[in-house]
Structure 1
Amino acid sequence: MAATPASVSELSTARDRAWQSPLELALLAAIWGASFMFMRVAAPQFGAMPLVEIRLALGAVVLLPFLWKARASFPRAIWPKLALIGIINSAIPFALFAWAAQRAPAGIGAITNSMAVLFTALVAFLFYGEKIGTRRSLALVAGFVGVVVLASAKTAGASVGGAVAAGTTAAFLYGIGANLVRRHLTGLPPAAVAAATLSSAAIFMLPMAIAYWPAQTPEPRAWFSVVMLGVLCSGVAYALYYRLIQRIGAARAVTVTYLVPLFAVAWAWLLLGEPLTLPMGIAGALIIGSVALSQRGN
């Protein structure tokens, strides 16, 4: 029996989706991996607070059309929650990663960032009574061992423990933020939520950015990096991520977490000449492996 035009069209669409989603996951991982390289370049010249303010503001601008389109879904009463989540899930973590980028290679921040998936499960267990299970408990232990290995390492003779602590704290805040979003903002358009939280975070950071604005004008290379952080790594990346969630679901979309450190280390090695040390490799394997273990069967 010959295939009908409709069945041929459906088969073609299925084939397109079969390669489209993995390609977009890899693209998103490459973009978010590059964000740690851009922070490494821009943070020493801008400082953490101004860098984060520009990043938040540019990311919000890119996403504002989504918020404007869905503005009827955002009553005045919900904005305090949006502001709090923006501070917890964007402003403070971005500042911690920017601070870490001034003191450690790009790969350090990217590896600790992977702990966000584990911390999301831990926060849900500690504060919301969700079951964590044996598999996720083992994953948390392996992830924390990876953090200890990473924190005890040295790069070019200097300790990176402070940067690891900052990145791990940021990942923990991401875990809190993810739970708050899931419980208080469910049903709202995700890209519009991202625009609202980034905008709120930008307003929160503005006084500190003004207070710590660099006395010396940053170089064009640093300006390029901070613009890419805001427009590409925040605005465009969030839009791409939420589109993936709508198409393949959150459980599959979060697998991008496994790839981000690999791209971050690769970009930093290729473009900044940063080496991959043995402790970074061991810690990365432990943390990324633990994240994969925690997601298995989800």
Structure 2
Amino acid sequence: MTDKNSAIVRDRVAVASREGSARFRQGTFLAFLGVLAFSGSFPATVYAMRGFDPWLVAIGRAVIAGVIALICLKAARLPLIPPRHLWRSYAAISLGVVFGFPVFSGLALDLGATTAHSAVVIGLLPAATAVCAVLRAGERPRPLFWLACTAGALAITAFTLTRGQSTAAWPDVLLVGALVSAAIGYTEGARLSRETPGWQVISYTLVLSLPLTIPVTAVLAFTTPVHPSPQALAGFAYVGLISMFLGFVPWYAGLARGGIARAGQTQLTQPLLTLAWAWFLLGERYGPATVAAALAVLVCVALTQRART
């Protein structure tokens, strides 16, 4: 190979490297926007359950989001259902994020799990999502990634478990179910978002779920106690509009751009953001340990972003 050809190859490699780095940064930023939206989910769920049954909140939120998704697909003049060969993937997403995570986490909160204790789920979720990315999406992070991922999960778990909160066995089992459900839904949705825009992925998921979520919500609305206070309505609106729809738009796009395992590590910051919302909205108080945990998590996130897939 001549010197001229070598220089051309080096230039192309350098350009590709810069484009790849820019794509990773964009993915990380978009994923963080999703995390910011999701961080208010637990406090909003607590608000919503002050006026509505936990099952109604868990399923009804998908109806709110599904109607919005239907309108968006119609406005964009897109088919209301995805290609048939993708239905299995959309079913997995639906089971994970439309039914699994909202139901399991809502019941855990209803049975006594505090917002602080429930943050353990979010602390472990990035690690679970990374494992799913390896098993389902074919990603292969470097050892540095796994070390930083493990350190971040341990840091946030230690922080939340030392807040002086305790729960019974059943809420913990439900939180584990929420963890597994979300990891599967996130991975499958991000995998589809490589070819389909993230807003369409979550829209198709919600629309395909409407034949089940609408009748179940209608039955629950007439058979469970309903006390629609302004606070409960605000919480219900948040989990339906933000947690169940808008948050997934940048989240899936970020995972697809930045890598499911890598961009997903931005969710290590979600427990701390959730605790901040709990302090502001629910009156929970935290001490200097919050600052120490925040710094530890930010270091771990930075390390995962430096580790190339």
TM-score normalised over the length of structure 1: 0.71
Match of 2:238 in 1: 228
User: Cα–Cα, structure 1 residues 197 and 244, in superposed 2: closer, same or farther, change >3 Å?
Assistant: same
Shift of 1:222: 1.4
Deviations 1:62-93 (A, max 9, x none): 23244333328822443343123211233101
Shift of 1:114: 4.1
Match of 1:16 in 2: none
User: Cα–Cα, structure 1 residues 74 and 177, in superposed 2: closer, same or farther, change >3 Å?
Assistant: same
SS across alignment from 1:265: helix
Q: Which moved more, 1:35-44 or 1:20-29?
A: 20-29
- Mind listing any 5+ residue stretches in structure 1 that lack a counterpart? 1-19
TM-score normalised over the length of structure 2: 0.69
Given residue 275 of structure 1, which amino acid in structure 2 is its aligned partner?
R
Whether the aligned pair in 2 keeps the contact of 1:115 and 1:291 (CA below 8 Å) is no
Alpha-carbon distance in structure 2 between the residues aligned to 1:267 and 1:130? 33
Aligned pairs for 1:72-151 within 5 A: 74-102=82-110, 103-126=112-135, 130-143=139-152, 145-146=154-155, 149=158
Q: Which moved more, 1:112-121 or 1:285-294?
A: 285-294
Alpha-carbon distance in structure 1 between the residues aligned to 2:143 and 2:263? 23
Given residue 123 of structure 1, which amino acid in structure 2 is its aligned partner?
C
Aligned pairs for 1:257-268 within 5 A: 257-268=267-278
Deviations 1:149-171 (A, max 9, x none): 46855756x42665454334323
Alignment of 1:70 with 2:78, yes or no, is yes
Given residue 43 of structure 1, which amino acid in structure 2 is its aligned partner?
M
Alignment of 1:272 with 2:282, yes or no, is yes
Aligned pairs for 1:136-285 within 5 A: 136-143=145-152, 145-146=154-155, 149=158, 153=162, 155=164, 158-159=166-167, 162-183=170-191, 186-205=194-213, 209=217, 215-220=224-229, 221-241=231-251, 254=264, 256-276=266-286
Whether the aligned pair in 2 keeps the contact of 1:151 and 1:160 (CA below 8 Å) is no
Given residue 65 of structure 2, which amino acid in structure 1 is its aligned partner?
G
Deviations 1:95-126 (A, max 9, x none): 12212222223233345224332212212334
Deviations 1:20-77 (A, max 9, x none): 9999887655432222211112235433321121211111222324433332882244
Shift of 1:268: 1.2
Given residue 238 of structure 1, which amino acid in structure 2 is its aligned partner?
F
User: Cα–Cα, structure 1 residues 77 and 177, in superposed 2: closer, same or farther, change >3 Å?
Assistant: same
Deviations 1:130-189 (A, max 9, x none): 434322332454355457646855756x42665454334323332222332344564123
Given residue 45 of structure 2, which amino acid in structure 1 is its aligned partner?
M
Alpha-carbon distance in structure 2 between the residues aligned to 1:293 and 1:238? 25
Whether the aligned pair in 1 keeps the contact of 2:33 and 2:250 (CA below 8 Å) is no
Alpha-carbon distance in structure 1 between the residues aligned to 2:101 and 2:301? 19
Whether the aligned pair in 2 keeps the contact of 1:49 and 1:95 (CA below 8 Å) is yes
CA RMSD after TM alignment: 4.1
Alpha-carbon distance in structure 2 between the residues aligned to 1:59 and 1:224? 15
Shift of 1:243: 6.8
Whether the aligned pair in 1 keeps the contact of 2:144 and 2:303 (CA below 8 Å) is yes
Q: Which moved more, 1:233-242 or 1:243-252?
A: 243-252
- Mind listing any 5+ residue stretches in structure 2 that lack a counterpart? 1-25
Number of aligned residues = 278
